[in-house]
Amino acid sequence: MFRYAIFILFLCPIASADELYNSGWRINADNDLLAGQNTDRDYTGGIAFTLSGRRVQEYPVTLDSLRAGTDRLISFPLLYQSFVNMSFHSQQYGMLWFTPDDIESTAPIYDDRPYASLLFMSNSEFTVLPEKGVAYISRLTIGFLGLDAAENVQAFLHEATNSDVPNGWGNQVSSGGEPTAMLTYGIQQSIYTSAQQQLKLEYEGNLGFITDVNAGINWRWGRINSSWWAFNPYQSKYIQQSMPVFSSNSGEGNGELYLWAGGRLNFRVYNAMLQGQFRHSEVTVSSSDMERLVAEYWFGVTGEIVKKYYASIFVRGHTEEFKGSNARSATWVGLVFSRAY
Q: Who contacts 230 (Cβ-Cβ below 8 Å, separation ≥6)?
A: 246, 248
Q: What integer pLDDT is reported at residue 210 of this predicted model?
A: 98
Q: What integer pLDDT is reported at residue 165 of this predicted model?
A: 77
Q: What integer pLDDT is reported at residue 16 of this predicted model?
A: 47
Reported as a single tens digit per residue, the pLDDT across 133-188 is 999 999 999 999 999 988 888 877 777 767 677 889 999 999 999 999 999 999 99
Please choose, from the candidates 302, 315, 218, the residue with its C-alpha nearest in 3D space to the C-alpha of residue 261.
Answer: 218
* Other Cβ atoms within 10 Å of 159 Cβ, number: 10
Q: Taking a C-beta distance cutoff of 8 angstroms, is the pair 71, 138 a contact?
A: yes
Residue 52 CA to its chain's centroid (Å): 15
Q: Taking a C-beta distance cutoff of 8 angstroms, is the pair 225, 4 a contact?
A: no
Q: What integer pLDDT is reported at residue 249 of this predicted model?
A: 85
Q: What integer pLDDT is reported at residue 167 of this predicted model?
A: 86
Pairwise CA distance, residues 267 & 259, whole Å: 28
Q: What integer pLDDT is reported at residue 157 of this predicted model?
A: 72
Q: Residue 224 corresponds to which amino acid? A: I
Q: What integer pLDDT is reported at residue 150 of this predicted model?
A: 84
Helix axes 64-73, 2-11, angle to 10 degrees: 120
Pairwise CA distance, residues 303 & 217, whole Å: 21
Q: How many helices (H) and strands (E) does the chain have?
A: 4, 14
* Other Cβ atoms within 10 Å of 69 Cβ, number: 18
Cα–Cα distances (Å) from 122 to 49, 66, 70, 213, in that order, read: 11, 11, 14, 19
Please choose, from the candidates 181, 174, 47, the residue with its C-alpha nearest in 3D space to the C-alpha of residue 114.
Answer: 174
As beta bridge partners, residue 310 has 304, 338
Buried (b) or exposed (e) across 319-329, using 16+ Cβ within 10 A? bbbbeeeebbe
> 3-state class of 9 per DSSP?
helix
Q: Taking a C-beta distance cutoff of 8 angstroms, is the pair 319, 104 a contact?
A: no
Phi, psi of 66 (to 5 degrees): -65, -40
Positions of the chain with pLDDT lower than 50, given as ranges: 1-17
Strand pairing category for 239-240 and 134-145? unpaired
Please choose, from the candidates 245, 18, 20, 228, the residue with its C-alpha nearest in 3D space to the C-alpha of residue 135.
Answer: 228
Domains contained in the chain, CATH given? 2-9+29-340 (2.40.128.140)
Pairwise CA distance, residues 199 & 186, whole Å: 16
**The pTM is what?**
0.91
